[in-house]
Structure 1
Amino acid sequence: MRLQGGVMASSEEMVQILLEGRSYTASKSKLIEKSDYFRALYSSGMRESGAGSLQLQGLSPQGLELVLRFIDTSQTSFEKESLQELVETASFLQVTCVLDLLLAQVRLENCAQLCQLSEVYGIHRLQAAAASFMADHYHEMLRRPEFGLFPDSFRAQIWETRMKGSATLLAVGDFVDNALKFAQEDNPWSMLRYDEVAQSWQPFANNLPPAMMNVRGYGSVVLDNYLFIVGGYRMTSQEIAAAHCYNPCTNEWSQIAPMNQKRANFKLLTLNGKLYAVGGQSLSNVECYSPEHDWWTFIAALPTALAEFSACACQGKIYVVGGYTTRERNLNVLRYCPARDAWTVLEPCSFHIRKQQMLSFEDTIYLVGGSIHELRPNRKPPQSEDMLTVQSYNTVTQEWLCLKESVSKSGLNLTCTLHNDGIYIMSRDITFSTSLKHRVFLKYNIFTGGWESFRQVPLVGQNMIVCSLYLPNALQV
């Protein structure tokens, strides 16, 4: 065997391929086997099909060498610098097996280039694979300059692709069920997936970061179908600034840039594609995280430090309600405008609430649970301040409404999330004597205003959050 033009030749019938004054020797049988172009040529009966040499034009020598190497050895290089020449030549010579191999070569470093090349040469499967990869790694793509060169409509399409899948309730926390063995006793930090048909929680296999174990008082929120868990404190009472992110499209956790400020018992929320960490234990400062740049920056601080408050975003602004200042109850509703980077103090409430959860839908904020203390005169106090209530605050009219209450369910230490048509709530029955075996599971329908109860959650645990994410179908089983 001998090497001519970078390709191994043998005693079988060989042909010469000429390009830009260079000559390459290749096996005729292998050309016919792996190239639709050559197969059609040599079966056409044309004059060129019987010649011992063939002239090609309009291709790059580098691309031809890569493709001929693959035809001869079934191996080639997929370096980013030569991708264009490889795709161009493989498309022209219709070496589809090379293009199929590219499906497994999609990476952060080349997916944008492969998407553009596949569009130019009409390689639809490769284009779909590259676009799907970009959707699966959306925040990482935001940080790459080449992604910003795509039209806004294309980037919006990538985001929409990321939001496809099945909306699924997930729970994260320290819990264990002795019957189902959700977690091991030495590592109770786990994730569960809710099966809405069977109305049961099932183990959800993934690798939770060990650094998140035994952390309390953290902030959690979902942005662009990523779950973020940020800050908190360890059992040693040491506050942390670390931030982790779960990507359901890849079923992987990763660590992002830590906050500038260590903080616990703060509120983490999303607004305009960014994260906001608001306040914390004896803190008034606020910082904002940009997924595009993977960094946190301080913004305008709260008018005063608060404890046991809550916050959420609604209609492009941040609202903070309840809690305590260093001296008294906080009765004011605080509103942050990102365009002005400033806080406004709105009309005070006629009641005091603490430890509530806040969610928003359209122009309405929902306050779930918490401990409520009525301040209006001649108002009969409730039997207990610890009861599960749902209240609404209209951000346009600034009107408060009490929508639903349950005196048998606790409004403290609950977790909730918006999912489909309602607010899904994990709370506890206030008649239980233990704070561990306390999980009840119900939904408040925001359209009908009614409660819907589900089976009790057979869990022992605490430090739990519940969230709603879009899972790929492969993770539903």
Structure 2
Amino acid sequence: MRIHSRDVMESSSRDLMESSGCPKLGPCKPPHSLRVRIDRSTFMVDRNLLVDNCEYFRALFQSGMRECHQEEIQLQCVGVLGFLVLLQVLDGERPMLNSDQIVEAIECTAFLQVLALTKHLINVINSENCLLMYHTAATFGVLDLSHSSALFIRDLYPDLQEEVHTLPHGLVDYIESLLPSSYMAVCSHSPSSELLKDLQRTVCYLDETSKDWKVLTHLPMSTSTTMAGLAVLDNKLYIMGGVHDVSKKVVETGFCYSPATNSWSTICSPQQLRYNFTLIGHEGCLYALGGEFKMKSLSSVERFKVSDGSWSFVSPLPCPAASAVSAVTMNRIFICLWRGQGATDIHEYLPEQDQWLLITTLIRQHSYGLYMVAHKDNLYVMRNGPCEDFLQCVMDRYNLSSGQWTAMSGQYGNSKSSLFTAVVRGDSVFTLSRQVTTEFTVEDQTWRLKRQMKGFGRIGSIYTFLMRLPKTKVSLMENSVDQTQNQNLRDLRSCLSISPQCSDHT
């Protein structure tokens, strides 16, 4: 693997600092400011910002050493490009990075110990940079980033196998020890009873070797997936709400399935009973968005913290909405809210600020169908055509970095029901219908057909998602997901022979 040098000419560094809004040393020194010198470049940075976000500076300024009182710090083991990325991230930006920036940013977060920068690097892993991320993070001992990159590579292993085997053997072995993501599906089912058992009440997964669907587990009898909220969080499936029958009486108990132990457990329901709502899993929390109750649309949003098992209300949706379309990409939550007359608003939820932010508006007519998935820094909004074109399914792409909409080329014919079950894994999009399961490859202007497999063969609404399933029989698994991940990290440590250190290259 070719690792890029971080040598930067002084003029390039000056241009980068000016373009990123990072002020150079000037005559006026703001309070609590600190001059940080890297090579021949100087940055004026808020000392408190560095102390709050960087373990290195926090330890330095609490050490009692003479550096605590200096107005200038010289950094020897950090490159200009990496430090610029650090400042952008601490300023709230989410920059997409080239290879040189990635290498220096990993070096920077390893040396300065910056959690926010590590999280951003994890959020921008993609098929183009995952090998570089993995190798460099392993070299510098950034284990969370290395593990996340390895998981991403594991999902793309068939496509990247040749490139993967250019890595050191220990890193290849670690990738192969991980569990790949499986494409999962479950139909809409009402609760059953001992007298009226329904053998179709199953959670299924796609066996990509046999190209057929297989049963993973049966739903508990009191579980409803009719108008329910489904989400995967930390590799566990959560089913909340749902209704008993046409009376729309809400199921008040939530259910959680762990593939590691092949077991179901119950959790408490949201404070506001709701059905036909959206459930999102994000950073240790479930979010129940909108929905309906007693035939009335809701705007309320509740958050469930898995750590303490409690629900609490957070900022409501901008307007009442049932079955709001959602997607998560780069660790950001997005929803579509249809407001009529051809207008669909896309909002982002900011958990730290607990607020909804309008990102953009798509002006397109459609009859009734709307769906959204994400790939890299793109949101893909799928819709059926208006009036006589309602069987056609077309897409528009919104790029979060450029803020531009692009109409995707081509029509997808009668595949509307298929595309409205889309799930993205790496550079692939899986969709299904009763007749066929289709895998597309995401390209700049279209989704290219890659392969087709057996259809799901069930009627009714279908929920689709990704989960990592044990390689052996689930009932024999002894470790929990958390224990398995901890063991994975211990295995990764054992295969690394290079620890974080000062270096001009990797």
**Bin for the TM-score computed over the shorter chain:** 0.5 to 0.7
| Partner in structure 2 of residue 108 of structure 1 | none
| Partner in structure 2 of residue 181 of structure 1 | none
**Does residue 315 of the first structure (1) align with residue 315 of the second (2)?**
no
AA of the residue aligned to 2:441: N
| Partner in structure 1 of residue 192 of structure 2 | none
TM-score (norm 2): 0.52
Closer, same or farther: CA 210–324 of 1 in aligned 2, 3 Å: farther
Q: Which blocks of at least 5 consecutive residues in structure 2 are unaligned?
A: 1-141, 152-173, 190-195, 476-506
**Does residue 223 of the first structure (1) align with residue 237 of the second (2)?**
no
Distance in 1 (CA, whole Å) between partners of 2:332 and 2:215 is: 37
Aligned-pair CA distance for 1:465: 1.8
SS in structure 1 opposite 2:299? strand
| Partner in structure 1 of residue 354 of structure 2 | 341
| Partner in structure 1 of residue 405 of structure 2 | 400
**Does residue 332 of the first structure (1) align with residue 345 of the second (2)?**
yes
Q: Do the aligned residues in 2 keep the contact of 1:306 with 1:324 (CA within 8 Å)? A: no
Distance in 2 (CA, whole Å) between partners of 1:262 and 1:333 is: 25
Q: Do the aligned residues in 2 keep the contact of 1:241 with 1:263 (CA within 8 Å)? A: no
Give 1:57-456 correspondences, 5 Å limit: 164-173=178-187, 186-204=198-216, 206-213=217-224, 215-235=225-245, 236-281=247-292, 282-324=297-339, 330-352=343-365, 354-368=368-382, 370-373=383-386, 384-403=389-408, 404-411=410-417, 414-427=420-433, 438-447=434-443, 449-456=447-454
Aligned-pair CA distance for 1:212: 1.2
Distance in 1 (CA, whole Å) between partners of 2:312 and 2:400 is: 27
Distance in 2 (CA, whole Å) between partners of 1:443 and 1:267 is: 25
| Partner in structure 2 of residue 468 of structure 1 | 466
Q: Which blocks of at least 5 consecutive residues in structure 1 are unaligned?
A: 1-152, 176-183, 374-380, 428-437
Distance in 2 (CA, whole Å) between partners of 1:157 and 1:250 is: 26
Closer, same or farther: CA 311–241 of 1 in aligned 2, 3 Å: farther
AA of the residue aligned to 2:458: V
Aligned-pair CA distance for 1:387: 2.5
Closer, same or farther: CA 293–452 of 1 in aligned 2, 3 Å: same
Aligned-pair CA distance for 1:157: 10
Distance in 2 (CA, whole Å) between partners of 1:357 and 1:242 is: 27
| Partner in structure 1 of residue 55 of structure 2 | none
Q: Do the aligned residues in 2 keep the contact of 1:241 with 1:261 (CA within 8 Å)? A: no
Distance in 2 (CA, whole Å) between partners of 1:466 and 1:333 is: 22
SS in structure 2 opposite 1:415? coil
Distance in 2 (CA, whole Å) between partners of 1:260 and 1:216 is: 19
Closer, same or farther: CA 305–350 of 1 in aligned 2, 3 Å: same
SS in structure 1 opposite 2:272? coil
| Partner in structure 2 of residue 54 of structure 1 | none
Aligned-pair CA distance for 1:199: 0.8
Distance in 1 (CA, whole Å) between partners of 2:242 and 2:456 is: 26
Aligned-pair CA distance for 1:456: 4.0
AA of the residue aligned to 2:442: I
Aligned-pair CA distance for 1:210: 0.9
Q: Do the aligned residues in 2 keep the contact of 1:425 with 1:442 (CA within 8 Å)? A: yes
Q: Do the aligned residues in 2 keep the contact of 1:426 with 1:442 (CA within 8 Å)? A: yes
SS in structure 2 opposite 1:473? coil
Give 1:20-59 correspondences, 5 Å limit: none
Closer, same or farther: CA 308–167 of 1 in aligned 2, 3 Å: closer
Aligned-pair CA distance for 1:241: 4.3
AA of the residue aligned to 2:389: S
Instruction: For residues 316-353 of structure 1, give each alpha carbon's deviation from its aligned partner in whole angstroms, at most 9, with x where no partner exists.
Output: 4432214347xx66532222211211122344222145
Q: Do the aligned residues in 1 keep the contact of 2:343 with 2:364 (CA within 8 Å)? A: no
CA RMSD in angstroms, aligned pairs only: 3.4
Same amino acid, percent of matched pairs: 22
Q: Do the aligned residues in 1 keep the contact of 2:375 with 2:427 (CA within 8 Å)? A: no
Closer, same or farther: CA 347–208 of 1 in aligned 2, 3 Å: closer
Larger radius of gyration: 1
Q: Do the aligned residues in 1 keep the contact of 2:365 with 2:385 (CA within 8 Å)? A: yes
SS in structure 1 opposite 2:389? coil
AA of the residue aligned to 1:245: C
SS in structure 2 opposite 1:397? coil
AA of the residue aligned to 2:259: P
Q: Do the aligned residues in 2 keep the contact of 1:167 with 1:471 (CA within 8 Å)? A: yes
Q: Do the aligned residues in 2 keep the contact of 1:312 with 1:360 (CA within 8 Å)? A: yes
Instruction: For residues 207-243 of structure 1, give each alpha carbon's deviation from its aligned partner in whole angstroms, at most 9, with x where no partner exists.
Output: 4211114x41112121111111222222131133432
Closer, same or farther: CA 352–224 of 1 in aligned 2, 3 Å: farther
Instruction: For residues 43-94 of structure 1, give each alpha carbon's deviation from its aligned partner in whole angstroms, at most 9, with x where no partner exists.
Output: xxxxxxxxxxxxxxxxxxxxxxxxxxxxxxxxxxxxxxxxxxxxxxxxxxxx
TM-score (norm 1): 0.54
Aligned-pair CA distance for 1:288: 1.1
Closer, same or farther: CA 308–227 of 1 in aligned 2, 3 Å: closer
Q: Do the aligned residues in 2 keep the contact of 1:217 with 1:232 (CA within 8 Å)? A: yes
Aligned-pair CA distance for 1:390: 3.8
| Partner in structure 2 of residue 100 of structure 1 | none
AA of the residue aligned to 1:233: V
Distance in 2 (CA, whole Å) between partners of 1:405 and 1:291 is: 42
AA of the residue aligned to 1:255: T
Distance in 2 (CA, whole Å) between partners of 1:398 and 1:238 is: 42
If asked which structure has higher relative contact order (CA below 8 Å, sep 6+), I would say 2
Q: Do the aligned residues in 1 keep the contact of 2:432 with 2:456 (CA within 8 Å)? A: no
